[in-house]
Amino acid sequence: MDAIIRVAAQFIMTILGLLLGVIFGIPRERAHLRELDQREAATAQFSVTDIKALPAGIVPAGGSLVIGQVVIGSDYLKTFLSRFRNIFGGEMRSFELMLTRARREARLRMIDQAQRMGATAVVNMRIETSRIGQATRRGGNPMAEVLCYGTAIVPSRGGEVM
């Protein structure tokens, strides 16, 4: 009898978790993607590269470390579906999208910091990703941290700030 109640409770918790994913996870993700699109459009002129040397004729001024950081978590629905993907193999699109969101957010936060300093470009950018918390095959929603860092500069050409 106890076992039946335990199984039933687990079943209800699973359904509840999936519902939470559908009701909150999906709309929140869409809202975040819309917000990212807007903010990226607003900072489209800001240039970010991962190279150190600028093309000939461009002189950098200033130079200061800027950092953008974000921790993102998956929702129950995505984790649940990813377990099936793990059985059959293939691409895990939901996690791909989750990490892409985190990277875009981290990059935007870095740009925000650079802009507050008055910089107009970031060079030598690096992105690091690390998994935090428990996320094994048997439970736990994956969490990841994305760290984006670079050097904020003010590039100019022929004495004219770009």
Which of helix, strand or coil describes residue 158? coil
- Paired tokens of 42: 């607003």
**CB of 1 or CB of 52, closer to other proteins:** 52
Residue 50 near residue 125 (C-beta atoms within 8 A): yes
Nearer to other proteins, 116 or 131 (CB): 131
Site for other proteins in 18-77 (CB under 8 A): 47-58
- Closest residue by Cα to residue 48 from 113, 114, 121: 121
Residue 159 touching other proteins (CB under 8 A): no
Q: Are 142 and 74 in contact (CB under 8 A)?
A: yes
* Number of C-beta neighbours around residue 83 at 10 A: 11
103 belongs to the binding site for other proteins (CB under 8 A): yes
Q: 75, 121, 149, 151: which one contacts other proteins (CB under 8 A)?
A: 121
- According to the binding rule CB under 8 A, does residue 81 interact with other proteins? no
Amino acid at 60: P
Contacts to other proteins by CB under 8 A:
47-58, 79, 82, 85-93, 95-96, 98-100, 103, 121, 125-131, 135-137, 142, 144, 155, 157, 162
